[in-house]
Amino acid sequence: MTPIGATIKSACIGLALVASAPTGAQDASGLYQAQCAECHNPHRLGGMGPALLPGNLKRLRKKVAIEVISNGRIATQMPAFSDRLSRAEIESLVEYIYTPSNETIVWNLPQINASHIIHNREQDLSEQPVFNVDDMLNLFLVVELGDHHVTLLDGDRLEPIHRFKSRFALHGGPKYSNSGRFVYFASRDGWISKYDIYNLKLVAEIRAGINTRNLAVSADDRYVMVANYLPHSLVLLDARDLKPVKIYEVADQNGKTSRISAVYTAPPRNSFIAALKDLPEVWEISYEDDPPMSFAGWVHDYNPESGEKPIIEPFPVRRIRVDDYLDDFFFDQEYVSIIGASRAGKGQVVDMDLGRVIVPDLALPGMPHLGSGITWDYQGRTVLATPNLKAGKVSVIDMESWETIKQIETLGPGFFMRSHENTPYAWVDVFFGPNKDAMHVIDKRSLEIVKTLRPAPGKTAAHIEFTRDGKYALLSIWDPDGAIIVYNAATLEEVKRIPMNKPSGKYNVYNKITRSEGTSH
């Protein structure tokens, strides 16, 4: 066994029930392995689905867990099991996943360091690309979930350049360096990978967690922050080689820990922003060499009235209380306001300069997918538009008054919404339900649906991304026998199909590094 494998095994030992466990528990363990392990990991550590351990189920009551297993869960890939398991079997599964492991799961600095791999030293790699394209910033990376690969796509010729294997179940979207040369991936099982697009080679990898939500890259390209569901931690890495810099146990002042909903970088603030899934808090973590005085209030034993400048430790945390959990959130273009919502549908706006909630009851019914929200200019004012994971509607909100301008009715709940500065249209999928093969095109001027496309009847159509100039819109068919479908963004006519294995997200280098208002950040 490799050192990495041994380290991972050491984090998993003892998670199966001991031989002396009651017969019912043994039966539940067998049910779990047969029905749940493929998506949630044989040791309940999480994979395509989340970790199923008591510490990660704090906000899910057992009664609700029974309903989720029986009927599936909205806005996830969790299927219904009521047609194959009895009520008694489902209840036994719930008791099993709420039973603590008989050994503590440990994934801290020694384990993280032991997993570290240097594939290629950056100083040994060429600074010139090993392939020729017209525009290095008009490249796409396409994540193919079907067989866990990534395809590098030329956005000018609309042809694949290279395909390489990724870690299992990439999640949260790749993040580029400012030059577009390097890209960072996070996998559901905690692996962080740095890839050199110019040389088509991996640079480094490290396992920063056991079950990971997403990652963010600092605006100065020096740091990578990883948000974990398990353990409840944020892990700061050196972006050059992914070596650990600092680990944060995410907890409140009483020691209650929390998963992280997501972490993003806020470039004008030189900080990372993280929302907590199990605590009503937002954390701002500065990555400036000399953190601003706004963080001084969080330094222990500092008296602001003393007149002395405090010594602020590197990467300080500023905690902001919010009115409810932020399961999902979105920045305005200035990175001053955070627009957030809980899974229960409570919306709120947090002013990061003031450090408090300024709109406690934003009208966002259902379950808005704010991580896929976009903005544009509508009649001289900036609006936010977001799809909804529970309801067939797109909410359009004035970002000055925070009033809802319109609820655009769609054929079902949507997951992704995209646009571009050079197109009058916004595209939103119908990801869930019988109309999952539909893609709506909304006129940003009239806020009306002007066309509904069904490019592959019966197959899920999702996730639009645009070329650098906004001339073409690329759509995914989420199927093993899937494709990237290229549309003329002006005429809405199909241009070509590129076969791929369940392509999920597509990420244009230029749109991402310039933080286009039409794409997620």
Quick: pLDDT tens for 175-192: 999 999 999 999 998 999
What per-residue confidence (pLDDT) applies to 106?
81
Amino acid code (one letter) for 401: S
| Residue from 459, 368, 472, 458 nearest 427 by CA | 472
Which residues sit opposite 324 in a β-bridge? Answer: none
| Mean pLDDT within 406-432 | 96
What per-residue confidence (pLDDT) applies to 60?
82
- Residues 362/386, Cβ–Cβ less than 8 Å: no
Q: Is the pLDDT of residue 10 over 60?
A: no
Phi, psi of 270 (to 5 degrees): 50, 50
Give the pLDDT band (50/70/90) at residue 75.
low
User: 150: which 2 tokens?
Assistant: 């990534």
Q: Is the pLDDT of residue 264 over 50?
A: yes
Give, in order, the Cα–Cα distances in Å from 57 to each of 1, 53, 70, 388: 32, 6, 17, 24
For residues 236 and 166, give the distance between their C-alpha atoms in angstroms, rounded to a whole number. 22
Q: Is the pLDDT of residue 448 over 70?
A: yes
Q: What is the pTM of this model?
A: 0.87
3-state SS, one letter per residue, for 84-142? CCCHHHHHHHHHHHCCCCCCCCCCCHHHHHHCCEECCCHHHCCCCCCCCCCCCCCEEEE
User: Residue 508 CB: number of other CB atoms within 10 A?
Assistant: 26
What per-residue confidence (pLDDT) applies to 200?
98
Helix (H) or strand (E) holding 437: none
Give, in order, the Cα–Cα distances in Å from 8 to each of 3, 177, 242, 247: 9, 29, 18, 18
User: Residue 365 CB: number of other CB atoms within 10 A?
Assistant: 16
| Mean pLDDT within 191-212 | 97
Which residues sit opposite 463 in a β-bridge? Answer: none
User: 277: which 2 tokens?
Assistant: 């899934």
| Residue from 274, 382, 388, 254 nearest 325 by CA | 274
Residue ranges of the domains in the chain?
3-97
Give the pLDDT band (50/70/90) at residue 40.
confident
Mean pLDDT for the chain overall? 90
Phi, psi of 6 (to 5 degrees): -65, -40
Which residues sit opposite 266 in a β-bridge? Answer: 271
Give the pLDDT band (50/70/90) at residue 379.
very high
For residues 160 and 152, give the distance between their C-alpha atoms in angstroms, rounded to a whole number. 6
Lay out the sheet containing 337-341: strands in order across. Answer: 328-331, 337-341, 347-351, 356-362
Burial of 176 (0-12, 13-18, 19+ CB in 10 A): buried
- The percent of residues in the chain predicted with pLDDT above 70, rounded, is 93
Q: Give the CA dihedral 475, 477, 481, 484, nearest 10 degrees.
A: 0
What per-residue confidence (pLDDT) applies to 301?
66
For residues 444 and 374, give the distance between their C-alpha atoms in angstroms, rounded to a whole number. 11
Give the pLDDT band (50/70/90) at residue 311.
confident
**What is the architecture of the domain spanning 3-97?**
Orthogonal Bundle (1.10)
Summarised one tens digit per residue, pLDDT across range 47-65 is: 777 788 887 787 788 888 8
Helix (H) or strand (E) holding 33: helix 23-35
Annotate 200-211 with b (16+ C-beta within 10 A) or e (fewer).
eebbbbbbbbbb
User: 235: which 2 tokens?
Assistant: 């892990």
For residues 262 and 168, give the distance between their C-alpha atoms in angstroms, rounded to a whole number. 19
Q: Is the pLDDT of residue 373 over 50?
A: yes
Give the pLDDT band (50/70/90) at residue 32.
confident
Give the pLDDT band (50/70/90) at residue 16.
very low
Q: Is the pLDDT of residue 25 over 90?
A: no
Three-class SS of residue 500? Answer: strand
Give the pLDDT band (50/70/90) at residue 17.
very low
What per-residue confidence (pLDDT) applies to 409?
97
Report cis status (omega within 30 of 0) of the bond before 110: no
| Residue from 413, 452, 417, 456 nearest 433 by CA | 413
User: Which stretch of 1-5, 75-79, 181-185, 413-417 has the lowest confidence by average pLDDT?
Assistant: 1-5
User: 397: which 2 tokens?
Assistant: 């909100």
What per-residue confidence (pLDDT) applies to 350?
97
What per-residue confidence (pLDDT) applies to 26?
55
| Residue from 68, 89, 90 nearest 80 by CA | 68
- Residues 289/274, Cβ–Cβ less than 8 Å: no
| Residue from 280, 272, 274 nearest 256 by CA | 280
What per-residue confidence (pLDDT) applies to 367?
80
Give the pLDDT band (50/70/90) at residue 304.
low
Summarised one tens digit per residue, pLDDT across range 87-132 is: 999 988 988 898 887 766 789 999 999 999 999 999 999 999 999 9
| Residue from 138, 128, 131, 129 nearest 512 by CA | 138
User: Residue 520 CB: number of other CB atoms within 10 A?
Assistant: 23
For residues 424 and 422, give the distance between their C-alpha atoms in angstroms, rounded to a whole number. 7
| Mean pLDDT within 470-481 | 97
For residues 180 and 139, give the distance between their C-alpha atoms in angstroms, rounded to a whole number. 9
